[in-house]
């Protein structure tokens, strides 16, 4: 369970300031690099990391610092954000991380955060040997995993804000290379930066909230999770459930503009898109208990909304928005999107595309209809032999100015036949 202290500074942490901060560990610890040189680590003689100092990140988006940190920082201008991550395998590592952050703040006109880190500038002497072993397998960043199985790597991350750091990107890269799914488990009070939300949405990873009253649930969809067969999986018995802690308080429900696929209305950010689309499905007659969000149960699969009909057939949807690209077909047929849907073990795979320019006749005349159709047909045959699949290849539903263009036509797109 890595724990972090942060230095939020006005001045850039140059090499002299970083070295002065790292000397808080005294003369007995060794230093090495990780993350292709973007992370400096203080280690014991046997190579176990004690603290890791991330490369400073520059925050210049107005209001972002206040959104993440509240009123801790009284400047809204550009600031430098430096994370010092402590290993829980060493009892004094947290005090050392707080000292490194405190030194940076003192040298560079800044503050430390969170307040409970009790920042200071004292030297923290640690034994050069004899630290507790890491729970991971010792291979790079996976050595920091709290639980490591053949299928997954679990990190218990006790931190108020989860940001995209070199450590996180190394974790994502390493787990993908080893065929594992990454689970980042945080308290319910944790927040994600926009970059972290985007990265986790596109990777074989899940943000898991640990709540004393609700147990574990998905931080993006609210689906209740359980640990089963070496990984987290949604609880589906008797039906998928949204954690009570994820629901709005009584009388505090949020009013959302609806999105009906038979009408022209622009889609919003991904999480809201999913909720609005699910609401439309419920209005069409689909039971709410049959709808799941953010399903990534199979390695490499990524489904925004998933529906199971009364016969047991499963519909998987991804929602994408076109922002007037030069080649819209190239945009919607990216391997990144189609591969995530293709790997989902479902019966029907549908890519819902909003923001298309022109009419159905325009797309057909420009060849935009033929190219996805050829691609879809190519999935059925490889080297002259039919490909056996769990379900159908991807169906494209593209909302245009005069209605929906379905490629290929004639497929069942939802349980109630409303799309």
Q: Burial, 70: exposed, middle or buried (Cβ in 10 Å; 0-12, 13-18, 19+)?
A: exposed
Identify the CATH class of 270-407.
Answer: alpha beta
Beta carbons within 8 Å of 115's beta carbon, 6+ residues apart: 72
Average pLDDT over residues 207-216: 86
Give the highest mean pLDDT range of 203-207, 284-288, 375-379: 203-207
User: What dotted CATH number matches 140-245?
Assistant: 3.100.10
Q: Tell me the backbone φ, ψ of residue 102, rounded to 5 degrees.
A: -65, -40
Judged by average pLDDT, the poorest of 11-15, 17-21, 268-272, 339-343 is: 268-272
Average pLDDT over residues 403-416: 84
For residue 367 the two structure tokens come to 């060849």
pLDDT of 102: 92
Q: Distance between CA 108 and CA 8 in Å, rounded?
A: 9
Q: Tell me the backbone φ, ψ of residue 310, rounded to 5 degrees.
A: -65, -20
Domains of the chain, residue spans: 3-117, 140-245, 270-407
Helix, strand, or coil (residue 99): helix
Higher pLDDT, 291 or 61: 291
Q: Distance between CA 282 and CA 287 in Å, rounded?
A: 6
Residue 309 predicted with pLDDT over 60: yes
> Which tens digit of pLDDT belongs to each residue from 354-372?
878 888 888 888 888 887 7
Q: 409: how many CB neighbours lie within 10 A of its CB?
A: 9
Handedness of CA 209, 211, 217, 222 (dihedral sign): negative
Judged by average pLDDT, the poorest of 42-46, 208-212, 225-229 is: 42-46
Q: Burial, 335: exposed, middle or buried (Cβ in 10 Å; 0-12, 13-18, 19+)?
A: exposed
Say which DSSP state 140 is in.
G
pLDDT of 140: 61
Residue 294 predicted with pLDDT over 80: no
Which residues pair with residue 209 across a beta bridge? 186, 217
Per-residue b/e over 375-391, b at no fewer than 16 CB within 10 Å?
A: bbeeeeeeeeeeeeeee
What is the DSSP track for 369-410? Answer: THHHHHHHHHHHEETTEEPP-SS--EEEEEEETTEEEEESTT
351, 338 contact by CB (below 8 A): yes
Asked if the bond preceding 36 is cis, omega within 30° of 0, the reply is: no
Q: 128: how many CB neighbours lie within 10 A of its CB?
A: 16
What is the arrangement of strands in the sheet containing 181-187, beginning at the earlier edge strand?
Answer: 147-148, 152-156, 181-187, 205-211, 215-218, 224-228, 231-234
For residue 139 the two structure tokens come to 């291979």
> Which tens digit of pLDDT belongs to each residue from 27-79?
778 888 776 677 788 888 777 788 888 888 888 877 777 777 766 666 667 88
- For domain 3-117, the CATH architecture is 2-Layer Sandwich (3.30)
> Which tens digit of pLDDT belongs to each residue from 144-186?
778 888 889 998 877 777 888 877 888 888 888 888 999 999 8
């Amino acid at each position: 369970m890595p724990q972090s202290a942060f230095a939020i500074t006005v001045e850039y942490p140059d090499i002299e300031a970083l070295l002065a901060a790292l000397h808080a560990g005294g003369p007995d610890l060794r230093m090495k690099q990780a993350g292709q040189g973007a992370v400096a680590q203080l280690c014991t003689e046997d190579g176990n990391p004690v603290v890791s100092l991330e490369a400073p990140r520059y925050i210049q988006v107005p209001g972002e610092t206040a959104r993440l940190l509240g009123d801790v920082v009284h400047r809204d201008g550009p600031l430098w954000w430096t994370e010092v991550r402590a290993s829980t395998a060493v009892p004094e590592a947290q005090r050392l991380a707080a000292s490194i952050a405190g030194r940076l703040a003192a040298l560079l006109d800044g503050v430390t955060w969170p307040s409970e880190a009790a920042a200071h500038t004292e030297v923290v002497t640690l034994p050069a040997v004899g630290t507790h072993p890491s729970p991971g397998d010792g291979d790079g960043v996976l050595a920091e995993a709290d639980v490591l199985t053949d299928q997954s790597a679990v990190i218990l991350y006790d931190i108020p804000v989860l940001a995209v750091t070199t450590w996180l990107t190394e974790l994502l890269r390493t787990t993908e290379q080893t065929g594992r799914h990454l689970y980042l488990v945080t308290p319910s009070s944790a927040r994600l930066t926009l970059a972290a939300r985007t990265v986790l949405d596109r990777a074989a990873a899940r943000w898991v909230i640990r709540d004393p009253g609700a147990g574990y649930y998905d931080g993006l969809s609210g689906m209740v999770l359980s640990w089963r067969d070496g990984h987290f999986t949604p609880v589906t018995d008797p039906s998928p459930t949204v954690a009570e802690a994820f629901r709005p308080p009584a009388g505090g429900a949020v009013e959302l503009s609806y999105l009906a696929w038979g009408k022209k209305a622009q889609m919003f950010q991904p999480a809201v898109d999913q909720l609005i689309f699910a609401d439309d499905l419920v209005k069409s007659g689909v039971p709410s208990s049959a709808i799941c969000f953010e399903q990534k149960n199979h390695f490499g699969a990524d489904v925004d909304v998933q529906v199971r009909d009364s016969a047991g057939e499963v519909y998987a949807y991804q929602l994408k928005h076109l922002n007037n690209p030069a080649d819209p077909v190239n945009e919607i047929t990216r391997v990144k999107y189609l591969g995530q849907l293709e790997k989902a073990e479902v019966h029907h795979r549908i890519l819902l595309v909003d923001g298309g320019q022109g009419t159905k006749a325009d797309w057909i005349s420009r060849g935009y209809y033929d190219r996805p159709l050829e691609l879809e047909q190519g999935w059925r045959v490889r080297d002259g032999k039919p490909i056996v699949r769990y379900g159908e290849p991807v169906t494209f539903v593209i909302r245009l100015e005069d209605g929906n263009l379905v490629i290929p036509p004639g497929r069942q797109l939802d349980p109630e036949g409303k799309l």
